[in-house]
Amino acid sequence: MSTESSINSAPKPETTTGARVRNFLIAIVAIALSVALVLGLKTETTSTSLASLDQASTPLEIAISNGKPSIVEFYANWCTVCQKMAPDIAELKQQYTEKVNFVMLNVDNTKWLPEMLKYRVDGIPHFVFLAEDGETVAQTIGDQPHTVMASNLDALVAGSSLPYAQTSGQVSQFHAPVTPTNNQDDPRSHGSQVVN
């Protein structure tokens, strides 16, 4: 029995080596998962929002008078297609910022009602391409691939006709109100409270 005891108590070289390999693999997997988690979180937090694009956009009044061509996007924060396109628009804005004005007009703001009616906005995103003098060159509606938008912007900068003018993709339906909505609860609307 003493021979068996000494054999069982002696460390086996294969077991020590196997434990080291196992620990090394666990460490590598933990590092890989940590890196993936950090990159995933970084990507998630740096995604572009429509609000940040709106804040960084050129005001319409300046865009139509500063001598640069412009792209005007009619959007809404609830528009899933607009949200999907936001990273592409942000990338294009960064690429063309010296050559093209990027204007964001929120369709939920009734301030833009005259523009919504002028350009017949009935689906969003709705893009209007304006020449250097502020005249309408073309319009596209809905989800547009990055390459299509880049080609149109290249043509806009060059002053040539847009290769993908009048294109349409997936849209979020929108109907501009023709007149301001009346609120029946407004005490200043005296006549609307009278029932015949």
Q: Give residue-wise pLDDT tens across range 43-79.
A: 444 467 888 898 889 999 999 999 999 999 999 999 9
Rounded Cα–Cα distance for residues 51 and 109 (Å): 13
- From 50, 60, 79, 130, active-site residue: 79
144-157 pLDDT, tens digit per residue, is 999 999 999 999 99
Query: Tens of pLDDT along 9-54?
Result: 555 555 788 888 888 888 888 888 877 777 766 544 446 788 889 8
Does the annotation count 82 as an active-site position?
A: yes
Q: Are 50 and 82 in contact (CB under 8 A)?
A: yes
Which among 134, 117, 52 is positioned nearest to 89, based on CA atoms? 52
Strand 172-173 and strand 136-141: the pairing is unpaired
Q: Is 134 a catalytic residue?
A: no
pTM: 0.65
Question: What DSSP line would sit under 110-154, residue for residue?
Answer: GGGHHHHHHTT--EESEEEEE-TTS-EEEEEES---HHHHHHHHH
Catalytic: which of 63, 72, 82, 153? 82
In terms of C-beta distances under 8 Å and separation of at least 24 residues, what long-range contacts does 24-28 make, across chains too? none
End-to-end CA distance of the chain: 111
| Alpha carbons 68 and 59: distance in angstroms, whole number | 13
